[in-house]
């Protein structure tokens, strides 16, 4: 039966494919297809790992028997019995075999896919004791996954085999069947892993439009819906689904007519994309001759390829924190960071690269285990520059790496989330210290322009003071909106109040642009607003001439720029600033 689930549209386009349900605690397993002649080997990897875990459990049982007399032992022994039973459960092993043999999933993926299926059955059990055994099942699967890490897996990901659409669906049955990831939640680090993966779209139960998970989905330029509440519970493994990334809707088990309609829309998107690609080398200049800088936001050095392909004239925001996340505390050292920054600098072929110092915390925890929940109010806690200043050795390491990369091309250094002059002074002192350390070691480094992000209302309100210290400013509207309106950007229950057009937000943005202009210093916007084509006219009217966004949005924004006359937009911007409801001014 066909039904739809509604969420928040975060990355446009249409994706049609089969659902792959992933439990968020296990998302860091690899997902790839194996060739037919490799399925036996994958099955064997599962068998070997499972046998290892069985042997381990038996060993523990043996030890327990040799240490009689302890009360807890009886319960533990019973629990281990349950684990042994689950490990040998046919339903689990047969299911894994199905995913590997019929679907050609790699072993880890097959195991987590079957875990989802069986876990659901546990959820539906009436007996509370049996229901609680789901946790045991998850534990044993995690142990098998851990054991599997020791079992060699292919280094090179084999190409996806051709997979057919089921009969009766109006899909061209010679095409590969795309897969759509459905999860309760995905951390930004998980998303980054999936960047290299096979998925054609994402659906998550939680998240807001500017949560970092949504931001990474947008950077991948694939349709995504977040905040879809219980999607991961009602969608089943392998269901056919459509993601309408424009409307924020997920259609489950669509009828042939709906499929045909969305197939058509998919092709239209392709045609539009193709049309936009012709603007790649057109200079970004308005009708009245104003040149507008269009820069790219990147998460990893390899994103430079898409930045250049989109015709971006530099990187306006390299979110360096993605180098730091999901590493179980094993942070990148100076050399590793230097290599990453250098790769971005060289990748941009002489165009400027703005590297933001690490901005972890809130919805970008370093590790899943050190989760945001550890803090009462993570978005207001030890994040971004606050964390860097609290970890001097880490901060100096990063600064040295950035300064060294600057010897090889134009680099701008950007500091996130500053609010106090004392933080500005400390940050600048650290930069001087990092230079001193490099001098002492006789290491080569280059000049950098130093900029501040304006993403806290306090910074926007004292922008003139900021301008005394910095070469340029970059407005982080994602956080500026969050902190001005007191709306958690990750919380879908308040996402309807997350309003970029709120007069208070517009006034802070306008004030920052205006002050930068008055002092002859560059100001750009690097929040998601910069890539939102419905905001381009207003931002140009406010005087903005530098926009930084995901490479996938550059050409669409350029198209807007080419159609605008900024002289006419100033009046619009003035009216929006003066209005109680600017959105009405824009619509009219």
DSSP code of residue 26:
G
Q: Which of 31, 83, 304, 526 is catalytic?
A: 526
Dihedral-angle region of residue 289 (phi above 0 means left; psi in -120 to 50 means alpha; beta otherwise)? left
Rounded CA gap, 403 and 446, in Å? 6
Shortest spacing between CB 453 and ligand PEP, in angstroms: 7
Cβ closest to ligand PEP, residue 114 vs residue 357: 357
**Would you tell me which residues interact with ligand PEP (CB under 6 A)?**
215, 317, 319, 359, 455, 476-479, 526-527
Residue 500: how many CA atoms within 13 Å on its side-chain side?
22
According to DSSP, the β-strands at 3-6 and 249-252 are: antiparallel
Cβ closest to Mg ion, residue 116 vs residue 455: 455
Backbone dihedral angles phi then psi of residue 130, each to the nearest 5 degrees = -65, -40
Shortest spacing between CB 213 and ligand PEP, in angstroms: 11
477 binds, among ligand PEP, Mg ion, none (CB under 5 to 8 A by kind): ligand PEP
Look at the alpha carbons of 350, 428, 513, 533 in this order and tell me if their dihedral is positive or negative. Answer: positive
Looking only at residues 85 through 124 of this chain, which bind Mg ion when binding is defined by CB under 5 A?
Answer: none
Shortest spacing between CB 125 and ligand PEP, in angstroms: 42
CB of 232 closer than 8 Å to CB of 550: no
Catalytic site residue 83?
no
Q: Which residues contact 54 (CB under 8 A, 6 or more apart)?
A: 84, 87, 88
Cβ closest to Mg ion, residue 489 vs residue 545: 489
512 binds, among ligand PEP, Mg ion, none (CB under 5 to 8 A by kind): none
Catalytic site residue 212?
yes
Q: Which of 212, 304, 502, 550 is catalytic?
A: 212
CB of 238 closer than 8 Å to CB of 117: no
Q: Decide: is 476 part of the binding site for Mg ion (CB under 5 A).
A: yes
Shortest spacing between CB 556 and Mg ion, in angstroms: 23
Residue nearest to Mg ion (CB): 479
The residue within the footprint of Mg ion, chosen from 205, 299, 479, 532 (CB under 5 A), is 479
The residue within the footprint of Mg ion, chosen from 299, 303, 363, 455 (CB under 5 A), is 455
In 505-550, beta strands by DSSP E: 522-525, 546-549
Q: Decide: is 528 part of the binding site for Mg ion (CB under 5 A).
A: no
Sheet containing strand 249-252, strands side by side = 3-6, 249-252, 240-244, 14-22, 179-183, 199-204, 224-226, 8-11
Angle ∠(546,548,554) on CA atoms, nearest 5: 100
Shortest spacing between CB 163 and ligand PEP, in angstroms: 36
Cβ closest to Mg ion, residue 27 vs residue 414: 414
Q: Which residues contact 454 (CB under 8 A, 6 or more apart)?
A: 460, 463, 466, 473, 474, 475, 476, 480, 508, 512
Shortest spacing between CB 479 and Mg ion, in angstroms: 4
Cβ closest to ligand PEP, residue 12 vs residue 477: 477
Tell me which residues are annotated as active site.
Answer: 212, 526
Q: What is the contact surface with Mg ion in residues (CB under 5 A)?
A: 455, 476, 479
């Amino acid at each position: 039966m066909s039904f739809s689930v509604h969420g928040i549209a975060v990355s446009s386009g249409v994706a049609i494919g089969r659902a792959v349900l992933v439990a968020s605690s296990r998302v860091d397993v690899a997902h790839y297809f194996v060739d037919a002649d490799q399925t036996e080997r994958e099955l064997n990897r599962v068998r070997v790992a499972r046998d290892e875990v069985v042997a381990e459990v038996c060993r523990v049982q043996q030890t327990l028997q040799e240490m009689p007399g302890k009360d807890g032992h009886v319960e533990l022994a019973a629990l281990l019995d349950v684990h042994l039973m689950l490990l040998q459960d046919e339903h689990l092993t047969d299911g894994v075999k199905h995913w590997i043999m019929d679907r050609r999933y790699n072993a880890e993926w097959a195991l987590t896919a079957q875990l989802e299926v069986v876990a659901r059955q546990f959820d539906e059990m009436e007996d509370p004791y049996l229901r609680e055994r789901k946790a045991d099942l998850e534990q044993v699967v995690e142990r098998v996954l851990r054991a599997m890490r020791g079992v060699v897996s292919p280094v090179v990901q084999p190409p996806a085999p051709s997979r057919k659409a089921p009969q009766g669906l109006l899909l061209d049955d010679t095409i590969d069947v795309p897969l759509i990831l459905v999860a309760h939640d995905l951390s930004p680090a998980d998303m980054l892993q999936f960047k290299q993966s096979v998925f054609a779209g994402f659906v998550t139960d939680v998240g807001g439009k500017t949560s970092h998970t949504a931001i990474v989905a947008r950077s991948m330029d694939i349709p995504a819906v977040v905040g879809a509440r219980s999607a991961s519970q009602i969608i089943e493994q392998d269901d056919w689904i459509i993601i309408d990334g424009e409307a924020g809707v997920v259609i489950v088990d669509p009828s042939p007519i709906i499929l045909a309609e969305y197939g058509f829309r998919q092709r239209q998107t392709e045609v539009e994309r193709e049309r936009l690609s012709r603007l790649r080398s057109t200079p970004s200049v308005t009708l009245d001759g104003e040149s507008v800088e269009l820069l790219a936001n990147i998460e990893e050095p390899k994103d430079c390829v898409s930045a250049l392909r989109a015709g971006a004239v530099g990187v306006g925001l390299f979110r360096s924190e993605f180098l730091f996340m999901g590493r179980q505390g094993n942070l990148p050292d100076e050399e590793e960071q230097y290599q990453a920054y250098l790769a971005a600098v060289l990748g941009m072929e002489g165009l400027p690269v703005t590297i933001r110092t690490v901005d972890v915390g809130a919805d970008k925890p370093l590790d899943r285990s050190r989760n945001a929940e550890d803090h009462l109010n993570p978005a207001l806690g030890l994040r971004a520059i606050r964390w860097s200043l609290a970890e001097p050795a880490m901060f100096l390491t990063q600064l040295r790496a950035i300064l060294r990369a600057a010897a090889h091309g134009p680099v701008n250094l950007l500091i996130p989330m500053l609010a106090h002059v004392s933080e500005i002074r400390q940050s600048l002192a650290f930069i001087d210290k990092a230079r001193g350390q490099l001098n002492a070691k006789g290491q080569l480094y280059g000049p950098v322009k130093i900029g501040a992000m304006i993403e806290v209302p306090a910074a926007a309100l004292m922008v003139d003071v900021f301008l005394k210290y910095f070469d340029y400013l970059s407005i982080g509207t994602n956080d500026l909106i969050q902190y001005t309106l007191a709306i958690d950007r990750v919380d879908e229950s308040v996402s309807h109040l997350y309003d970029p057009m709120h007069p208070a937000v517009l006034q802070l943005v306008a004030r920052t642009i205006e002050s930068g202009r008055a002092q002859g210093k560059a100001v750009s916007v690097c929040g998601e607003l910069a890539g939102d084509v419905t905001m381009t006219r207003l931002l140009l009217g406010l005087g903005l001439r530098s926009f930084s966004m995901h490479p996938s949005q550059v050409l669409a924004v350029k198209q807007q720029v080419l159609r605008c006359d900024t002289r006419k937009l100033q009046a619009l911007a003035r009216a929006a600033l003066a209005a109680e409801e600017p959105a009405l001014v824009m619509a009219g």
